[in-house]
Chains A and B, each alone.
Chain A
Amino acid sequence: MKAMSEPIRFHFDVDGEDFSSAGGASVIVKKKLRQLGLSPEIIRKVSIAMYEGEINMVIHANGGTADISVDDREITIVLADRGPGIPDIGLAMQEGYSTAKENIRTLGFGAGMGLPNMKKYSDEMQIETEIGVGTTVTMKIRL
């Protein structure tokens, strides 16, 4: 990839009311990263990590914002919501742990693999959360 002086940034508002549009931001980011000529492996990591995070904002937090920046060293994904917060991050990070109700499972989600998967596919992941205030997940994927 060409050297970049200024990071490239993308911003999205993620609608929490409409499950059927969830993941739309991830689809656009994937297309942009392809246009930037990034490797398929990097794009796959970003795609899975961001899509899982975007779905989480819709099913657990009534939507939020997604901010992506790309520089010559890494891709940073910041997902911020004003949802209920996560009471116990250690528990939420466990594979198979989910508070999703049956209605979410019939939509194909809520297996409790999202956060572990986000951690697996990012090189760095940080969760800031406060009950009743919201959650911000920051993920970095190195190029």
Chain B
Amino acid sequence: MKIARIRELLSAEILCGEDMMDCEVSSACCCDMMSDVLAYVKDQGVLLTGLVNTQVIRTANMMDMVCVVFVRNKMPTPEIIALAEESGIVVLRSALRAYEASGLLYHAGLGAHESHE
């Protein structure tokens, strides 16, 4: 799925990485504990989270993720956005709650694991 499609499904605002909308991702995860992302995530390219701090971006960077979606209309600081920009990570912001946002993406075919078709 293209990041552009994620943006569309979640009616999200693009906070950085506009030039990466054509980038393809094949799975996502939703988590507020960065500890758990580091411990359990494999190759999910997208992180949906209600946690807003710089560590979300660094964790995504460490896990080679390409897109972070802040849910529930949470607004990251300019520092967080700058860090994402520097790391080549797209940042989206959606008014949806985590459960709804995840459900919409899952229903549209973005699973929890990379499919090997």
Contact = CB atoms under 8 A, between A and B. Distances in A.
A83 interface: no
B34 A47 contact: no
A109 B58 contact: no
Nearest to B34: A108
Interface in B1-50: 32-36, 38-39
B68 interface: no
B64 A111 contact: no
Q: Name A's interface SS.
A: helix
B117 interface: no
For chain B, the bracket of interface size reads 20 to 34
A19 B54 CA distance: 9
Interface residues of A, number: 27
Interface string B38-77: 1100000000000101111011011110000000000000
Interface of B: 32-36, 38-39, 51, 53-56, 58-59, 61-64, 79, 87
26 contacts: A19-B53, A20-B53, A20-B79, A21-B54, A23-B54, A23-B58, A23-B59, A23-B62, A24-B58, A26-B58, A27-B62, A30-B61, A44-B63, A47-B62, A48-B63, A51-B38, A51-B58, A51-B62, A55-B55, A107-B51, A107-B53, A109-B33, A109-B34, A113-B38, A113-B39, A116-B39
